[in-house]
Structure 1
Amino acid sequence: MPLTSTTFVAQTHNLWGDHVAEQRRAPLDAMYRHRQPDLLATQEQRPWSRDLIDDAMPEHSRVNDEFPGWATQSCLWWRRDLFEYVEHGADDVGILAPDARLFWVRLATADGPILFSVAHLTWSGHPKEQETGTNQRTPQAAAIARRLAELADGAACLFAVDINDIGPPNWEFGNNGFLDSFTALGRHSPVTHPVVPSGFEESVGTRLSPLASPRKAIDWIFLRGPVRARAAEVVEFFHRGVAPSDHYPVAATLTLTRD
């Protein structure tokens, strides 16, 4: 696939809601002042973290929409000198958290359009999954893959996700023509959750079990269409010994192709 001149860095980052927010505010600000991706997708965002990123990345625009999920769940940013906004949307794909959706924006570049999207699949500790014993993420992944095929219509498609799983939902994307940025480079992803050591006080175990969360890769950038991965990284960043979140960001350097 011949490469174009449009190369950029995309990043996904779970911002961990309001947990230990005061300890993490300065590290989060420092990260997005020091390491600014060209495209950014977030999960577990809150209004304060969205506004902090706005201030840290003044050369970027983001989706502005009254739907609450753009403030309380996810948002999408792009560098204004590389991308031109076309349209955006938020589609219900069965994710169980309030105002959680498949969030997307269509962008134009000198070498063709990009569909940039994000979602946060349902946590395995959700009451419905605990009651039924049924994986909620696989049908969500299937619905997302179908919707992205409709929206992209052959354009370069980027999907950022906290997938909250290590099996069937990932396979669903792979079987629908997506590659994650690490597989595309013949690599396995390093761990993305949890960040250890974090620099802030935390307990072992959850309200559902005394067991510690296993270290795993659950944060991904999936690609389909005329776009090629050139590099992929799980970003390690600390500010005065404190991490911005309990998830590492994942960044990928990507180039649009001509075919």
Structure 2
Amino acid sequence: MNRIWCLLLLIVSPMMSVVADDLRVMSFNLRYGTARDGGNHWDKRKEFVAETIGVFSPDLLGTQETLGFQKDYLNEKLPAYTSLGVGRDDGGDTGEMTALFYKTERFEKLDEGHFWLSETPDVTGSISWDSSLTRMASWVRLKDRRGQFDRPILFINTHFDHKGKEAREESAKLIRQTASVLGKGCDIILTGDFNAAVDSLPYQRLFDKSQRRPPGSDSPRPRLFTDTYRQVAPKDQPGEATFSGFRAGVVDGSRIDWIAVAGGIDVLAANIDRTSRDGRTPSDHYPVTAILRQTPVKPESPQ
């Protein structure tokens, strides 16, 4: 546990001790398990991955680059969770998943689904723009049994393309518009590896408060997302890298893994978890975390 995280815990722990319904959220790119990573191969670090997740004990966990056997392993090691995810290639078992997990005892599942980051999001395995690979998002609508407010939570997890600039920008627009439809009447939590820096167009498309619905469109206006990390650390600072390349202590680089929220949610803490062991990290990305609290809905400014 790093120093920054300890300080954040000290700040919020008085509130956490008396408020039982705070939400602990983690986003974690696991690195696909068949990669030829030598000493960092999945079989050599999978216990470390499960332990890292267990230490933070998220209520909601979004994973990226998750193959079926990796999802199965985490199901075995984290029995308190229910998971869902499908392969991006065929909607079954083939290809990486944007698998997500939620604590079974805490949440009641109301609905679930998947869509593809393309011009035909309902078409399984579809690909568009300049995307180099098939990309997708998985979602679940949940009722928090411990929540004080009668608002469901829409939890979305995604992974943007690592090469296609247009694809990332269009994916951000699609995510925002789709969340507006799926998340009507909900608070929204979005996790993902966005393969984009915070000064990029995809970031602007996701978080820009001036975005309006397309002229003549009957679709809902885009929901206003908040970057949880930037809410805690308002100014862009050095040392915000979330890609480690399996090397402990890497801080230089871009913050490409984000947790975003929309609706009546306050951000109590946000962190880049730089857990390491013997000079290595559990994956080639650092997990990112946030502690959230549902609140009365704040009115959004007109667009």
- Shorter-chain-normalised TM-score: which range? 0.7 to 0.9
Aligned twin of 2:31? 16
- Aligned residue for 1:182, secondary structure, equals helix
1:141 aligns with 2:179: no
Show CA shifts across 1:141-184 (max 9, x none): 10111000001013110111111112000100112511111122
Go from structure 1 to structure 2 and tell me whether the alpha carbon gap of 1:10 and 1:150 turns closer, same or farther (over 3 Å shift).
same
CA-based RMSD: 2.4
| 1:80-119 matches, cutoff 5 A | 80-94=104-118, 96=131, 100-109=135-144, 110=147, 111=149, 112-119=151-158
Question: Which has the larger displacement, 142-151 or 78-87?
Answer: 78-87
Match for residue 288 of structure 2 among 250, 256, 259: 250
Paired residues of 2:85 and 2:98 also in contact (CA < 8 A): no
1:185 aligns with 2:206: no
TM-score, normalised to structure 1, is 0.81
- Aligned residue for 2:70, secondary structure, equals helix
Q: Shift of the alpha carbon at 1:25?
A: 2.0
Go from structure 1 to structure 2 and tell me whether the alpha carbon gap of 1:35 and 1:185 turns closer, same or farther (over 3 Å shift).
closer
Go from structure 1 to structure 2 and tell me whether the alpha carbon gap of 1:32 and 1:56 turns closer, same or farther (over 3 Å shift).
farther
Show CA shifts across 1:64-85 (max 9, x none): 6683369722111111222111
| 1:27-106 matches, cutoff 5 A | 27-63=48-84, 67-68=91-92, 72-94=96-118, 96=131, 100-106=135-141
Match for residue 196 of structure 2 among 154, 165, 176: 165
Question: Which has the larger displacement, 14-23 or 91-100?
Answer: 91-100
Aligned twin of 2:212? none
- Aligned residue for 2:152, secondary structure, equals strand
Greater strand percent: which structure? 1
Aligned twin of 1:155? 186
Structure 1 distance, partners of 2:70, 2:278, is: 19
Q: Shift of the alpha carbon at 1:60?
A: 1.1
**Which consecutive residues of structure 1, in runs of 5 or more, have no partner in the other structure?**
200-213
**Which consecutive residues of structure 2, in runs of 5 or more, have no partner in the other structure?**
1-18, 36-40, 119-126, 209-221, 298-303
Structure 2 distance, partners of 1:102, 1:122, is: 12
Q: Shift of the alpha carbon at 1:30?
A: 2.4
Go from structure 1 to structure 2 and tell me whether the alpha carbon gap of 1:69 and 1:216 turns closer, same or farther (over 3 Å shift).
farther
Number of equivalences: 234
Question: Which has the larger displacement, 138-147 or 20-29?
Answer: 20-29
Q: Shift of the alpha carbon at 1:5?
A: 5.6
Paired residue type of 1:107? L
Show CA shifts across 1:86-120 (max 9, x none): 11010123264665312100000132210000110
